């Protein structure tokens, strides 16, 4: 009897838990690759040149460099405060795109310095419309007056 019970371990078919774990990790791998591919494709679309020959990233870099001398320590600290709700892996990218929009607004208004109003307006304009509810909650929670730019929130 002990010989027969030992032969069950030498079965040619794998056990159910092994097959289930293989299926689980297959789906996990495919899901991770799909999510990563989605974000890589979005980044690829930002690099494609538009009708003017420059990509979205080229314009962001242009406005950041053009407005670099206008930023004070206070406005940089306020920008850091504005990007706090963004998850840390995406915070640098969000900060760069918001800084580009703020710089564009400051340069186009011929300002000598980036002010708090430029930061609020650029933050509202640079934030996607789908996130406006979170943006308003964040501004109200931090007691930041955005009433002058309420028309930008649609």
Is the pLDDT assigned to residue 58 strictly greater than 60? yes
The band of 47, judged by pLDDT with boundaries at 50, 70 and 90, is: confident
pLDDT at res. 138: 87
pLDDT at res. 51: 87
pLDDT at res. 14: 77
Q: Which two tokens stand for residue 102?
A: 């703020």
pLDDT, averaged across the chain: 87
pLDDT at res. 34: 95
Q: Which two tokens stand for residue 30?
A: 């495919």
In 16-109, which residue ranges form alpha helices assigned H by DSSP?
Answer: 16-47, 56-66, 73-82, 88-108
The string of DSSP letters for 94-135 reads HHHHHHHHHHHHHHHTT-SS--HHHHHHHHHHHS-GGGHHHH
Q: How many CB atoms lie within 10 A of CB 71?
A: 19
DSSP secondary structure code for residue 72 in this structure? -
pLDDT above 70 covers a percentage of the chain that reads 92
Is the pLDDT assigned to residue 8 strictly greater than 70? no
Please tell me whether the overall predicted TM-score, pTM, comes out greater than 0.95 for this model.
no
Is the pLDDT assigned to residue 39 strictly greater than 70? yes
């Amino acid at each position: 009897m002990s010989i027969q019970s030992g032969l069950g371990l030498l079965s040619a078919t794998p056990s159910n838990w092994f097959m289930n774990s293989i299926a689980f990790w297959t789906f996990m791998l495919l899901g991770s690759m799909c999510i990563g591919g989605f974000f890589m494709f979005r980044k690829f679309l930002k690099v494609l040149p538009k009708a003017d020959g420059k990509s979205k990233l080229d314009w962001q870099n242009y406005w950041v460099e053009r407005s670099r001398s206008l930023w004070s320590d206070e406005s940089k600290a306020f920008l850091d405060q504005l990007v706090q709700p963004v998850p840390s892996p995406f915070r640098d990218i969000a900060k760069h795109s918001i800084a580009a929009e703020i710089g564009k607004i400051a340069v186009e208004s011929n300002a000598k310095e980036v002010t708090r109003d430029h930061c609020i307006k650029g933050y509202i304009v640079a934030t996607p419309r789908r996130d406006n509810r979170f943006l308003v909650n964040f501004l109200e929670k931090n007691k930041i007056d955005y009433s002058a730019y309420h028309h930008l929130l649609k």
